[in-house]
Amino acid sequence: MKFLSLTLVLFAIYRTVVAGSVDRGGACNVGNNRLQIGTFQFWSECNSVSFCSDAGICEAKRCRRDDFPFGYPQGSTSLPPKCERGQFCPDEGTDCQPVLPVGSPCQLNRDDQCEAPPNFKELVDDSGRGLNFNGSVCLNNVCMFANETFGNKCVVENTPYIAYGISGEFIDIVSRGNCQIGLYCDSSSLSCMKNKQLGDACGADKECDSWNCLSTGVCGVTAATPRHFGAYVYVLVALGIIGGMGGTLTGLYFAHRKQRDLERSKRAQYWREQNAFHQNLMQMRETARASILALPQNRGSRGMDYSQDPSDESQSPILQSTGPKASGLRNYLADDGSGEFDDSLMMHGRKEGRF
Ligand SMILES: *[C@@H]1O[C@H](CO)[C@@H](O)[C@H](O)[C@H]1NC(C)=O
Ligand SMILES: *[C@@H]1O[C@H](CO)[C@@H](O)[C@H](O)[C@H]1NC(C)=O
C-alpha cells in the first residue's frame, strides 16, 4: 500500500509537472508563484526552463537540482549548472545561494537549503528516508537542526499530500519533526518519543523504527523487506517447467503419430488400388488368352500374332505411365511367366528390391 501510494503520488507529480506556459522573455507575475495543490510542487507562470524574475519577465533558469531536469531536451548542452557543496538551488532555479543558518526561511522539503549543525556527523540521517539533510531540517519554512533529544519539546510539520489509490483520492499526511534519529516528534504532546519496535501499537509510519505502521495499527517489518520463498516453491517451479516441456513433447509425439498413421493408410490405399488394377489386368489377359485359344480357326500364324500383340500393347503403356512410382506393376512384368500374383508375393518382391 505504501509503495502503491508513493507510486501514485509520483504519478500525480508527473501529471502536474507541466509548469506555466510563458516562454522566455514573456511577462509574468511573481505573485502567482505557488505550490500546487496536492503535490506541493513549485509552480510559476513561466515554462519549465525559465523562472519569473523580480522584474516580471521569464528568464532562463540559472541553476538546477536534478541530473536530468524536466523540460530540457535529451542530451541538451544548455543545462544550467548544479550548485556546489555549501550552496543550493532554490525551487525557482534563479541562482545558487549559500546554505542558510538556523532560523532562516527555507522552502518546503528543502532541508538541503539549511546549514548543517556542528555535530552533523551524529545527527545525519543515512537511512535514505530523508528525515534530515546533513543533520538539518526545514520545518514550517524555518531552518533548524534535527537535534532534539528524548522528552524535549519538538517542532512538527504535517503536509497533507493527495494520493491516489484503488478507491480513489486519499490524503497521505507526511509528518516531519526535528528530533534526533531514533526518535519521533509526537504530534499531540509535541515532544520527542522513542521509535517503536516491531509489533508495538502505532498511529503513523514515523513512529515505527521500521517506518511501516500497518493498517492493523502495529509496527510491521520494513516495507522494503525482500520476500523469501520456501524451497518447495523452487521445487514446484522446476516441476512446472519439466512438466510443461514433457507435455509439449508428448503432445507433439501424438500429433505426429496421428499424421504418420494417416500417411500410412493413404499409401496402403494406393497400394491396394494398384493391386486391384493388376488383378483386373491379369484377369483380362487370361480371359483374352483363353477365348483366343478356344477358337480353333484362329490357330496359325495369324492367331499367334494376335495372341502376342495384345500383351505387348498392354505392357508398354503400363510401363510408361506407371514406371516411376508404381510398385506392383513391375512385379507383374518380372513375374509375367508365372501368372501368379498375391499380396504377399508382391510385398516380398518389393522388399527384396527385385526391380
Ligand atoms: C555537511 O555539512 C558539513 C559541514 O558544513 C560539510 O562540510 C559537508 O560537505 C556537508 N555534507 C553534504 C553532503 O553536504
Ligand atoms: C538544537 O539546536 C538549536 C539551534 O542551534 C539549539 O538552540 C538547541 O539548544 C539545540 N538543542 C539541543 C537539545 O541540543
> Which of 113, 134, 147 maximizes ligand 1 atoms within 8 Å of its Cβ, making it the mutation to test the pocket?
134
Residue 91 burial (CB count, 10 A): 19
- pLDDT tops 80 at residue 138: yes
Start-end of H helices in 81-188: 120-123
Output the pLDDT for position 294: 87
Separation of CA 116 and ligand 1 centre (Å): 7
Q: Give per-residue pLDDT as tens, 172-204.
A: 999 999 999 999 999 999 999 999 999 999 999
Between 321 and 226, the higher pLDDT residue = 226
Nearest to 340 by CA among 286, 298, 266: 286
**pLDDT band, residue 8 (cuts 50/70/90):** very low
The pLDDT, as a whole number, for residue 271 is 96
| Phi, then psi, of 121 in degrees rounded to 5 | -65, -30
Please, which residues have CB within 8 angstroms of residue 150's CB and are 6 or more apart in sequence?
183, 192, 193, 194
Which residue's alpha carbon is at the smallest distance from atom 2 of ligand 2? Answer: 145
Tell me the pLDDT tens digit for each residue of 57-105: 999 999 999 999 999 998 888 899 999 999 999 999 999 999 999 999 9
**Which phi and psi angles does 136 have, rounded to 5°?**
-115, 155
Q: Which helix (H) or strand (E) holds 159?
A: strand 156-165
Alpha carbons 156 and 150: distance in angstroms, whole number: 15
For residues 147 and 156, the answer to whether their CB atoms sit within 8 Å is no
Instruction: State mean pLDDT over 211-224.
Output: 93
Ligand nearest to the CA of 132: 1
Q: Which is the closest atom of ligand 2 to the Cα of 145?
A: 2
- Spatial CA neighbour of 5 closest among 162, 126, 191, 205: 162
- Over residues 93-119, mean pLDDT: 96
Alpha carbon of 137 to those of 11, 63, 159, 264: distances in Å?
26, 22, 14, 85
Closest ligand to residue 125's CA: 1
CB–CB of 56/27 below 8 Å?
A: yes
The three three-digit cell numbers of residue 33, written as one number: 508563484
Strand ranges (E), 166-276: 168-177, 183-185, 192-194
Q: pLDDT value at position 266?
A: 96
Mean pLDDT, residues 293-320 taken together: 53
Report CA(117)–ligand 2 centroid distance (Å): 9
Q: Does the pLDDT of residue 250 top 70, yes or no?
A: yes
Q: How many helices (H) and strands (E) does the chain have?
A: 6, 12
Q: How confident is the model at residue 296 (pLDDT cuts 50, 70, 90)?
A: confident
Q: Are 207 and 218 in contact (CB under 8 A)?
A: no
Torsion of CA 133, 137, 142, 143, to 10 degrees: -60
| pTM metric for this prediction | 0.63
Q: 6: pLDDT confidence band, cut at 50, 70 and 90?
A: very low
Annotated domain spans of the chain: 1-85, 99-183, 195-225
Predicted local confidence at residue 79, as pLDDT: 93
Element (H, E) at 88: strand 87-88
Probe target for ligand 2 pocket from 145, 149, 183, with the most ligand atoms within 8 Å of CB: 145
Ligand 1 neighbour 120 (Cβ under 6 A) = yes
| Percentage of residues in the chain having pLDDT higher than 90 | 71
Q: Grid coordinates in use for 252? A: 507433439
In this prediction, residue 17 has a pLDDT band, given cuts at 50, 70 and 90, of: low
Band of pLDDT at residue 295, cut at 50, 70 and 90: confident
Ligand 1 pocket check for 125: Cβ under 6 Å = no
